[in-house]
A = this chain, B = another copy of it.
Amino acid sequence: MGTPLPRDPIGDAQRNWERHGWGDVAAPMAAITAIMRTQQILLARIEGALKPFGLTFARYELLALLSFARSGALPMNKASALLQVHPTSVTNAVDRLEKAGLVVRSPHPTDGRTTLIELTTEGRTIAKRATAVLNTEVFSRSGFADSEVDQLIRILGNFRRQAGDFSG
């Protein structure tokens, strides 16, 4: 995975699709494959930036979410819904963040089924520092032009709405 390939493998795949009679879906296939690959590249950059903090992207996302909650606490099911991941993924992330002392679980005051995730002081500090690094090292140098960012937000926003992510 070091040296650039001489040719774009996704472009090749698209041509193969066309050559085998799937010309009508070759372009969407290529676009979707490109999304998969782009996600992989971006995730690697993000995880690299977070590594010094002992954080993964999944854990960082949870920390960031909590840091924006007024009280610094959220029910696990709410975190699961907002992060759009399976509840067990939140359980997993909270286990590790709790072990690292960045969050604590506490019982919900009125609903015995619910567990609140609460940011610790250190958790809030780490969240702030990690955000700064992520912003300066990854998001500010994404490689996307401003107009491309706008297009991505628009196109993927429509897609996510269609997919049932949100109704707004």
Contacts and interface: CB of A to CB of B under 8 A. Distances in A.
A4 B167 contact: yes
Interface string A32-76: 101111111111001000000000000000001000100000000
Given A7-B166, A139-B25, A159 B31 contact: no
A151 interface: yes
B131 A31 contact: no
Main secondary structure of the interface of A (DSSP, over half): helix
Copy tally for this chain in the complex stands at 2
A133 to B, nearest CB: 12
Interface residues of A, number: 71
Interface of A: 1, 4-11, 13, 16, 20, 22, 24-25, 27-32, 34-43, 46, 64, 68, 80-86, 131, 135-136, 138-140, 142-144, 146, 148-153, 155-168
